[in-house]
Amino acid sequence: MEKSVTSDKFAEALNYATELHRRQIRKGSSIPYITHLMGVAWLVAEHGGDEKQIISALLHDGPEDQGGQPILDEIQRRFGERVASMVAGCTDTLEDPKPPWRPRKEAYISRLATESVETRLVSAADKLCNAQSIRRDMGRMGDLVFAKFQGGKSGALWYFQSVTEEFERGGPHDVATELRRVFTDIERGLF
């Protein structure tokens, strides 16, 4: 009999993430949002994350996009403090409505410097997955891709530059290296 490489908690997290985001699509597309969460989970696994980090990757946008503190509390109840802590570390706000974009992102970048190594891996994988999507979309839409972002092109470039520098400073360095390559492609309009 083959040994399972994931536990029942992984399956539960995948089901819960699907339930939370079932009516959500990626900005400016018809792509189901769960595909982003699965992509982040894959990047975390590819870069050595353990099952709790992979679960956190699946759930990282739940509180921010689907209900704030009550969702974070439910994640803690179902998956434990370690997962909830990583999810909270990837969340830039639990408020609804969300505070203004630029100050919220500035605060997140400042806080990122104090996050655990394991949380930083999940966050870096999220940013890398987003940057890869932007680069792909640039191939179809050019700079119009930036219209779907609150900060527009200049804000998106500022944000990706800032988080890339933070990951280059404090790790995870392998993900930061990939993020730098993708960000450079975006800056140069290469796709």
0.75 cut: is pTM over it?
yes
What pLDDT score does 23 carry?
95
Alpha helices by DSSP H, 25-172: 34-46, 51-59, 62-66, 69-79, 81-89, 101-112, 117-141, 152-170
What pLDDT score does 57 carry?
98
Strand, coil or helix: 92 = coil
The token pair at 112 is: 């990122």
Q: Using CA atoms, how far apart are residues 157 and 115, in angstroms rounded to an integer? A: 23
The token pair at 5 is: 């490489």
What pLDDT score does 35 carry?
97
What pLDDT score does 190 carry?
80
Low-confidence ranges of the chain (pLDDT < 70): 1-5
CA distances from 92 to 117, 122, 138, 177 (A): 17, 13, 25, 23
Strand, coil or helix: 18 = helix
Domains of the chain: 8-188 (1.10.3210.10)
Calculate the CA 191 to chain-centre distance.
Answer: 21
Q: Using CA atoms, how far apart are residues 123 and 144, in angstroms rounded to an integer? A: 26
What pLDDT score does 1 carry?
47
Q: How many CB atoms lie within 10 A of CB 76?
A: 16
What pLDDT score does 182 carry?
97
Return the ∠ at Cα 98 (arms to 95 and 99), rounded to 5°.
Answer: 105
What pLDDT score does 132 carry?
96
C-alpha torsion sign, points 38, 180, 187, 112: positive
Residue type, 101: W
Name every residue whose Cβ is closer than 8 Å to that of residue 77 and which is 6 or more positions away in sequence. none
